[in-house]
Amino acid sequence: MQSKFSHYAARVIGLGRKGCDVVEALGRATVFLAQSAVGVPSREGWSLWLRQMHFVGVLSLAIVLVSGLFIGMVLALQGYTILVDFGAEQALGQMVALSLLRELAPVVAALLFAGRAGSALTAEIGLMKATEQLTSMEMIGVDPLRRVVAPRLWAGFVALPILTVGFSVVGIWGGYLVGVEWLGVFEGSYWSNMQASVSFIDDIGNGMIKSVVFALVVTWIAVFQGYDLVPTSEGISRATTRTVVYSSLAVLGLDFVLTAVMFGGL
């Protein structure tokens, strides 16, 4: 009886400690974000940012566009087989465009971005920490939060929404290839149905809002995990995994919340 009680007590204490750790890490991450992302970039800051746009954005372009193409094609294929039963295959364009703009483009692009760019950001910053590059930068009198972290954060914030737009465009084109060119849906109805049903604010706007939120969260997680990791090779590999896991979960969870608010009438 006594031992059972102390067993539970130990569990509660462990849980509480874990809770404290989580809250503390969140606090550190928030201070980190505030210290690095806020502030006016210098002239040099712009060139650092452009360089990171290349690493984070341009190098993720291929994987995002190819995935967008396939997703658009699959959507058209699946959508057609369902719609054709109701004789509604004319609505294929609408279905493809709305699925992509509202859901698939922001979510899948963010997941790909986490895997391609986020993990690379974590590993790169982590390695800089492990080899004392961040410390030596501090000793030279340069704040690594401004010099190393800020350009990467801002590059991620900007790159993902742009990648999402690319994803949607290529996906819609992929749907066109399969639906119109292959399955023979009338081309005029593919486009006109799409034009008539897609609302700029409700669909494109909300999709972009999602994408901006995901960009903030994924980049923040990636960069913070790199900056905060234990500077060993094991620490780097764990942090890289954490980046992908946490940001994927965050994206999917937030997507549900945002969808509920935007389209669920909450």
- Closest distance to other proteins from the beta carbon of 235 (Å): 16
Using CB under 8 A as the binding rule, whether residue 133 contacts other proteins is answered as: yes
List 1, 38, 40, 140, residue binding other proteins (CB under 8 A): 140
Backbone angles phi, psi at 119, to 5 degrees: -65, -35
- What CA–CA distances, in Å, run from 5 to 1, 9, 31, 217? 6, 6, 39, 41
Using CB under 8 A as the binding rule, whether residue 136 contacts other proteins is answered as: yes
- CB neighbours of residue 9 within 10 Å: 10
3-class DSSP state for residue 195? helix
Using CB under 8 A as the binding rule, whether residue 30 contacts other proteins is answered as: no
- Closest distance to other proteins from the beta carbon of 137 (Å): 7
- Closest distance to other proteins from the beta carbon of 141 (Å): 4
- Contacts of the segment 17-24: beta carbons below 8 A, 24+ positions apart: none
Q: Which two tokens stand for residue 122?
A: 């974590």
Give the C-alpha separation, 132 to 179, whole Å.
55
Using CB under 8 A as the binding rule, whether residue 24 contacts other proteins is answered as: no
Using CB under 8 A as the binding rule, whether residue 81 contacts other proteins is answered as: no
- Closest distance to other proteins from the beta carbon of 127 (Å): 8
Stretch that binds other proteins, among 113-121, 140-148, 179-187, 247-255 (CB under 8 A): 140-148
Using CB under 8 A as the binding rule, whether residue 137 contacts other proteins is answered as: yes
Q: Which residue has the tokens 């963010």?
A: 110
Query: Quick one: 132 or 181, whose CB is closer to other proteins?
Result: 132
- Closest distance to other proteins from the beta carbon of 43 (Å): 11
List 81, 135, 199, 232, residue binding other proteins (CB under 8 A): 135
Give the C-alpha separation, 172 to 165, whole Å.
11
Count of residues engaged in binding other proteins, rule: CB under 8 A: 16
Spatial neighbors of 160 by CB under 8 A, at least 6 apart, are: 109, 110, 113, 211, 212, 214, 215, 218, 219
Characterize 41-75 residue by residue with b for buried, 16 or more Cβ atoms within 10 angstroms of its Cβ, and e for exposed: eeeebeebbeebbebbbeebeebbbebbbebbbbb
Query: Quick one: 135 or 195, whose CB is closer to other proteins?
Result: 135
Using CB under 8 A as the binding rule, whether residue 209 contacts other proteins is answered as: no
List 128, 158, 163, 218, residue binding other proteins (CB under 8 A): 128
Positions touching other proteins (CB under 8 A) are 44, 127-128, 131-133, 135-143, 147
